[in-house]
Structure 1
Amino acid sequence: MSTPHTWLVFWRTLAFALVVLGSLSLSTTTALAQADPEREISTAVPAVDADVWRQVKSGETGANYRDSRFDSNYNLINASGETWRQIRNRWVSPFGMIAIGAMLAMIVLFYLIVGRKHLDEPRSGRKLLRWTILERSLHWSVATLFIVLALSGLNLLYGKFVFRPLFGDAIWASMMSGTKVLHNYIGPVFGILLVIILAKFLVRNLPKKHDWAWFKQGGGLIGKGRHPDADFANAGEKVWYWLLATAGLAVVVSGFVLDFPNYGQDRDAMQWANIIHAIGALGLTAVALGHIYIGTLGTEGSLEGMATGYVDETWAKEHHNLWYEKAKDQAVDVNDPGQPSLGNEPTSPQRSS
């Protein structure tokens, strides 16, 4: 691993740790403030007496009647909220767990039956620059935030069924408070970086005619013969890109609606934003498991490209042959002392997008 890459990983890890510690510190302060009896009493809703109930029943609203919902004309019992609860608990949560569990089972089964995709030919020792430092930094930043958001979101949705019985109400409540603060604070950062990375990689992920052949061959798993044609991004990578550009942006927009409830959205808008956010996030998490598997354990040579920026010439030929034909003249022989160090790649390499 090159020295610049080592320092990049170090500073990214340090920054992430500071964000986590800051979020946990804030959540602890909030929890202590909520536990202060005097503060709780000062902000408590006045007692509901018989007069208030008569006002509610008659539809009147007086000085003693409180409704914290924005622009609300609901009765005391909110049928819309119950509909949202039923959709979330009976449909979204169970099927989200089924989707993620099914994807994990498919990955394990695929690995046991097919195994890792090794290179068909020996490595050449010649390297091609595939990802610049900026591109790798964007990728790992978005990927790290995605994983943290996915884990914290799963904890918010399913954590009460796992951790509450194990640790009890007090620990579980503190855990959920910290999880919620972490999720809410890093969500907007993820949204901004996602828009940047989608804009940067748009041209590389535009559909081409040869993408259909890639799908018909299952990315090279179906049939015999040479690997299907692929440019800088293959058809599978383009599908992941457009999922992020559609479902991912839907998750980001709905997350902003939930994160900033002071811009005019009413209770119904918040409830539907929550449903959209959960469906999109659970679906992306399931697909992301496949993306992570293919880019790490599933395919030889893929992870080192995003880790170092360079890929072996053999890997480029087999997986992205159309891109290789355009970039092969820029290959660097790692065994030649006269060649520049791989750790000092140019910031704007002359390569096809």
Structure 2
Amino acid sequence: MPVPGASPWPTVAKPRVKSQGLTALPLTPITGMMLMKSSTQAENPGIKRRLRGVNLALVCCALVLLLAPLVPYTLAAVSPDSATAFWDHVRHGTIGATQIKGTESGQLINESGTWWLEWRNQWVSPGGAWALSLSLVTLTLVYLLIGTNRMPERSGKTIERWSRMDRTIHWFMAITFLLLGVTGLSILYGKSVLIPMMGKDAFASFLYLAKNVHNYLGPLFSLALVVMAIKWLKHNFFTLVDMKWFATLGGMIGKGHAPADFTNGGEKAWFWVLVLLGLVVSGSGLVLDFPNYGQIRETMQNANLIHAISAVVLFCGSLFHIYMGTLGVEGALEGMVSGEVDEAWAEQHHSLWVERVKQNG
């Protein structure tokens, strides 16, 4: 008979079986399953770490097996031959495909940039420095050896030589030209000349201002140049009289002063240098000023070199013009300040023009 209060399930012995280091846990009456546990693992925790290492190694091996078929494709994509060909195309400026829209956006390296840098730093910059230095030395020697061309005793009578419009054009061009010259030379030589004098921070601020002044005044100078060329063209055609003026260097060789009309040979020469080189400077400057009209980089580089060379030559010529109008010839500056010159000065330097003025009353 069943004992009151006893379990309805029959009592089953719970044996423990040991085999090869494994301990069998008791059978449960619910599942009837046996849970196995390593007795060695239970006794030695270091085994757990070893098992984790083995598992990780197995995972890595599985990944290697999965990715192994892709290795040949990867090696083919970066083979030495294809890499060499790729960089050859890059160095030679081959244009590739890109999502960036713009002129030459698909060109990684512009080979002509190295050529431009060499020309600028090895030829244009040193050559310009020599040209400016020689111009200043020449003018200094001329002043020391020849001195100022003095005007005779003033007559007390004046002749109108330049109208208000002429003087406005001249001084507007003169001021803008000097500002463009100073700022342009600062851009060309600032790194080697101004940084040691001003320091990098002060030079950076100055150059930022100089660059903007240069860029905005450039188109205004170009416009004034065209107006001046049209206004004064009639006075600057060469004649045989000018050939005689050049033969005597304006009266510096021989006795007396060479006859001249409203403008002499030297003034006409400066007019054409200013107009022709001024147009070159203006044209190349406008290309640099407005780079958003599809210019390629090589076009910009060529424009930069042309702009620098022509501007330096023009600035050297302006030094001689400034010298002749101030220290070189007494009374020359008066005509461009007041518009009138003394009659004695006019007869000395522009005798043919004075005769025509007197004939016309």
Match of 2:257, SS state, is coil
Residue 171 of structure 1, CA deviation: 1.7
Amino acid of the residue matched to residue 209 of structure 1?
L
Residue 113 of structure 1, CA deviation: 1.0
* Structure number with larger C-alpha Rg: 2
C-alpha change, 1:325 and 1:265, in structure 2 (3 Å) is: same
Match of 1:96 among 128, 132, 147: 128
Q: Which TM-score applies when normalising by structure 2?
A: 0.72
Match of 1:128, SS state, is strand
C-alpha change, 1:166 and 1:245, in structure 2 (3 Å) is: closer
Q: Residues of 2 paired with 1:296 and 1:137: CA distance?
A: 18
Q: Which TM-score applies when normalising by structure 1?
A: 0.74
Q: Residues of 2 paired with 1:148 and 1:100: CA distance?
A: 17
Residue 318 of structure 1, CA deviation: 0.7
Q: Residues of 1 paired with 2:264 and 2:105: CA distance?
A: 50
Residue 328 of structure 1, CA deviation: 3.0
Which residue is equivalent to 1:160?
191
Which residue is equivalent to 1:71?
104
Q: Residues of 2 paired with 1:287 and 1:101: CA distance?
A: 12
Q: Residues of 1 paired with 2:197 and 2:131: CA distance?
A: 25
Map 1:297-308; keep pairs closer than 5 Å.
297-308=327-338
Matched, 1:109 2:141: yes
Q: Deviations over 1:25-52 (max 9, x none)?
A: xxxxxxxxxxxxxxxxxxxxxxxxxx9x
Residue 209 of structure 1, CA deviation: 1.1
Which residue is equivalent to 1:8?
none
Map 1:109-258; keep pairs closer than 5 Å.
109-119=141-151, 121-224=152-255, 226-258=256-288
- Aligned partners of 1:96 and 1:282 also within 8 Å: yes
Aligned-residue Cα RMSD (Å) equals 2.0
Q: Deviations over 1:133-156 (max 9, x none)?
A: 111011000001000000000000
Amino acid of the residue matched to residue 180 of structure 1?
K
Match of 1:311, SS state, is strand
Residue 72 of structure 1, CA deviation: 5.1
- Aligned partners of 1:304 and 1:311 also within 8 Å: yes
Q: Which runs of 5+ in 1 are unaligned?
A: 1-50, 331-349
- Aligned partners of 1:305 and 1:311 also within 8 Å: yes
Match of 2:162, SS state, is coil
Residue 106 of structure 1, CA deviation: 0.8
Residue 165 of structure 1, CA deviation: 2.3
Q: Deviations over 1:227-283 (max 9, x none)?
A: 112110100000111011211100000000000011122111111111110011000
- Aligned partners of 1:81 and 1:271 also within 8 Å: yes
Match of 2:207, SS state, is helix
Q: Percent identity among equivalent residues?
A: 45
C-alpha change, 1:131 and 1:67, in structure 2 (3 Å) is: same
Match of 1:202, SS state, is helix
Q: Residues of 2 paired with 1:86 and 1:303: CA distance?
A: 42
C-alpha change, 1:320 and 1:62, in structure 2 (3 Å) is: closer
C-alpha change, 1:62 and 1:312, in structure 2 (3 Å) is: closer
Residue 329 of structure 1, CA deviation: 6.1
Q: Which runs of 5+ in 2 are unaligned?
A: 1-77, 91-95
C-alpha change, 1:241 and 1:175, in structure 2 (3 Å) is: same
Residue 77 of structure 1, CA deviation: 3.0
Residue 168 of structure 1, CA deviation: 2.6
- Aligned partners of 2:98 and 2:105 also within 8 Å: no
Q: Deviations over 1:41-89 (max 9, x none)?
A: xxxxxxxxxx9xx8974765344xx686x23564x33220110111111
- Aligned partners of 1:72 and 1:266 also within 8 Å: no
Matched, 1:277 2:313: no
